[in-house]
Amino acid sequence: MNVTIIGSGYVGLVTGTCLADLGNHVVCLDLDQRKIDLLNSGGVPIYEPGLDALIQSNAEAGRLSFTTDVAAAVTHGEILFIAVGTPPDEDGSADLKHVLAAARSIGQHLRGFKVVVDKSTVPVGTGEKVAAVLRDALAARDLPDAGFSVVSNPEFLKEGAAVEDFMRPDRIVLGVDDDEAGQRALALMRRLYAPFNRNHERTRVMDVRSAEFTKYAANAMLATRISFMNDLANLADRVGVDIELVRQGIGSDPRIGYSFLYAGTGYGGSCFPKDVQALVHTAREHGQRLRVLEAVEAVNEDQKQVLVRKVFDAFGPDLAGRRFALWGLAFKPNTDDMRAAPSRVLVAALLRAGAEIVAHDPVARDEALHALRQDLAAEPALLERLRFADKPMQALEGADALVIVTEWKAYRSPNLAAMKALLKQPLVVDGRNLYEPEAMQRAGFRYLAVGRPM
Ligand code: UGA
């Protein structure tokens, strides 16, 4: 099928590339000429395992191309995905300006029936707003009857595992209108996603509003599990309980399950923080408070300080003359994404307290520096005390402690004896519970994890 993706960011690129790999002819549109030039010259603007090879092979096969030509892109696709950003507004609501601008561009160039798919995470009611913009644009061109139908098809992929998640979905949510155009759109969407439904029907068809809500509910549920465990982990620290054993103890109940119960430094990234805030905002707009989610957000903000608290407990609030090794900057492994990364809170706090930092991250170093320059724009001199190491062990030399923020694989089984020899004192503050407290104790370390008292 002919597919157009509007917005070649994270979700758009992964969606377009994977759909091309399934045999469709995909055109990815973006207004950023530099991004399109980069993609056309074989570069990839984001780090995502497996994506670069897949882009290359599908571009070479002639199934995937990149353009800034709006008219050509809109004409190309029978199905047009809107996959542009919905950044949070100042009040926490999702800013729809890019989504509605994309709808306007479609309306300006559309001829004949098109399925317009909202792939971006958008609040309930956005499908109707997109349809209204399309109708207005068509009326202005004197084409009020040119057909279209707006479908909601939220994305559930995780950064760092995006290609795998797209290619092996556990569900495909389709929100469609209950009219003739909606049924026509549904038939086309079913054809597009047929390869995923061969052995097992994964499509969940519903109305547009429910589909839009489903996306927020999924992220809100996952964020709730994380904040719940972080809250319990802090209590576990006080009452001498190992939260890891508790996680296994409760996860074995199939009603609870094991996933997304890892205590840590709080959730970050571009989705959970933004989507929780947006849902809280939607509720308030409708005169309701989502009290559980408001608490989820408050607990998460507080949890981003957990490592700062542990460092201050160990060294006091004045860190002048202290040096810390820091492993991991990205908000999670296998990505260079620094959006809402807990490491930003830690780095700023340690630098402000006078510390020196030697940080390592396998891929996020440039993104991290960019983010930290923004965070510390008013106090740029602080960054003079931040250095980067090329290898994890190099960061440890002469450091007063190692602080672990992101659970990259490379940090999972270090040579403990070498680690101890490099550190000035054998202290590891671990925000991801990577090691067994007993093993650390045997190796002669003081080990401060999250909810795992020694
Ligand atoms: C999340 C969802 O998992 C995806 O299903 C969804 O499609 C995506 O948001 C989105 O809305 O686009 P993502 O933000 O890429 O995906 O990453 P996750 O793996 O979900 O991790 C989010 C944050 O939660 C990370 O900071 C991670 O460290 C933290 N986390 C996760 C925990 O602290 N504990 C856990 O047990 C799991």
Output the pLDDT for position 87: 86
Query: Are 239 and 200 in a shared domain?
Result: no
In a domain, 190, yes or no: yes
Report yes or no: 333 and 406 within 8 Å, Cβ to Cβ. yes
Among residues of the chain, what percentage have pLDDT more than 90? 95
Instruction: Pick the closest to residue 68 from 30, 25, 17 (CA basis).
Output: 30
Pocket test for ligand 1, best of 46, 222, 274 (most atoms within 8 A of CB): 222
Nearest CA to ligand 1 atom 11: 271
Unique residue bearing structure tokens 């054993």: 245
Ligand 1 center to residue 158 CA distance, Å?
6
- Mean pLDDT, the chain, rounded, equals 96
Q: Name the residue with the closest Cα to ligand 1, atom 5.
A: 156
Q: Convert 137-153 to b/e letters by CB count within 10 Å (16 or more is b).
A: bbeeeeeeebebbbbbb
- Atom 24 of ligand 1, nearest CA residue: 267
Give the integer Cα–Cα distance in Å for 115 and 113. Answer: 7
* Final residue in a domain of this structure, among 204, 238, 272: 204
Question: What CA–CA distance (Å, rounded) separates 427 from 324?
Answer: 10
Question: What's the pLDDT score for residue 81?
Answer: 98
Residues 114 and 237 in one domain: no
- Residue for token pair 């040096």: 323
Residue 216 falls within a domain, yes or no? no
**CATH number of the domain to which 177 belongs:** 3.40.50.720
- Do residues 161 and 309 share a domain? no
Ligand 1 — pocket residues by CB below 6 A?
121, 155-159, 219, 222, 226, 260-262, 264, 267-269, 271-272, 331-332
Percent of the chain with pLDDT over 70: 100
Work out how many domains the chain is built from and give that number: 2
Q: Tell whether ipTM is more than 0.85.
A: yes
Residue closest by Cα to atom 1 of ligand 1: 158
- Residue 218 maps to a domain: no
- Which tokens belong to 103? 């709808």
pLDDT of residue 72: 97
Taking the centre of ligand 1 as the mean of its atom positions, its distance from the CA of residue 249, in whole angstroms, is 22
Please check whether residues 198 and 247 belong to one and the same domain: no
Q: Tens digits of per-residue pLDDT, 282-325?
A: 999 999 999 999 999 999 999 999 999 999 999 999 999 999 99
In a domain, 215, yes or no: no
pLDDT band at 236 (very low <50, low <70, confident <90, very high): very high
Ligand 1 pocket: which of 155, 156, 158 to mutate (most atoms within 8 A of CB): 158
268 among annotated binding-site residues: yes
Catalytic site positions? 271
Residue where a domain stops, chosen among 189, 204, 219: 204
pLDDT at 145 over 80: no
Which residue range(s) make up the domain with 250?
227-448
151 neighbors 116 (Cβ within 8 angstroms) = yes
Q: Are 223 and 267 in contact (CB under 8 A)?
A: yes
Residue 394 lies in a domain: yes
Residue 264 assigned as binding residue: yes
Structure confidence at residue 336 (pLDDT)? 94
Q: Could you tell me if 295 and 227 are in contact, meaning their C-beta atoms sit under 8 angstroms apart?
A: yes
Query: Residue 340 has what pLDDT?
Result: 96
Distance 219 CA to ligand 1 centre (A): 8
Query: What pTM does this model have?
Result: 0.94
Mark whether 372 and 431 lie in a shared domain: yes
198 in the same domain as 265: no
Tell me whether residue 32 is in a domain. Answer: yes
- Same domain? 159 vs 249: no
pLDDT given for residue 88 in this prediction:
84
Q: Looking at 2-139, which runs of residues are DSSP E strands?
A: 2-6, 25-29, 64-67, 79-82, 114-118
Q: Are residues 41 and 185 in the same domain?
A: yes
Q: Does 333 lie in the same domain as 281?
A: yes
Same domain for 173 and 142, yes or no, is: yes
Q: Is 159 annotated as ligand-binding?
A: yes
> What is the spatial distance between Cα 135 and Cα 263, in angstroms, rounded to a whole number?
48
Residue 420's pLDDT is 97
Alpha helices in 88-179 (DSSP H): 97-109, 126-140, 162-167
* pLDDT tens-digit series, residues 163-221: 999 999 999 999 999 999 999 999 999 999 999 999 899 999 999 999 999 999 999 99
Alpha carbon of 352 to ligand 1 centroid (Å): 29
- Asked whether the predicted pLDDT for residue 261 surpasses 90, the reply is yes
Is residue 67 part of an annotated ligand binding site?
no
Mean pLDDT of 87-111: 92
The reply to whether 175 falls in a domain is yes
- Answer yes or no: do 327 and 403 share one domain: yes
Ligand 1: atom nearest CA of 342 is 26
Indicate the pairing of strand 427-430 with strand 446-448: parallel
Domain contains 211:
no
- 156: annotated binding-site residue? yes
Of ligand 1's atoms, which has the minimum distance to the CA of residue 230? Answer: 33
Which pLDDT tens digit goes with each residue over 388-435? 999 999 999 999 999 999 999 999 999 999 999 999 999 999 999 999
Tell me, in angstroms, the distance from the centre of ligand 1 to residue 372's CA: 22
State the sign of the Cα–Cα–Cα–Cα dihedral 308, 309, 312, 318.
positive
| Overall average pLDDT of the 333-348 stretch | 96
51 is in an annotated binding site: no
Q: What is the pLDDT of residue 53?
A: 96
Together in a domain, 26 and 59: yes
Position 378 confidence tier, pLDDT thresholds 50, 70, 90? very high
pLDDT at residue number 18: 98
Q: How far is the CA of 41 from the centre of ligand 1 (A)?
A: 31
Residue 146 binned pLDDT confidence (cut-offs 50, 70, 90)? confident
Last residue of a domain, one of 169, 204, 239: 204
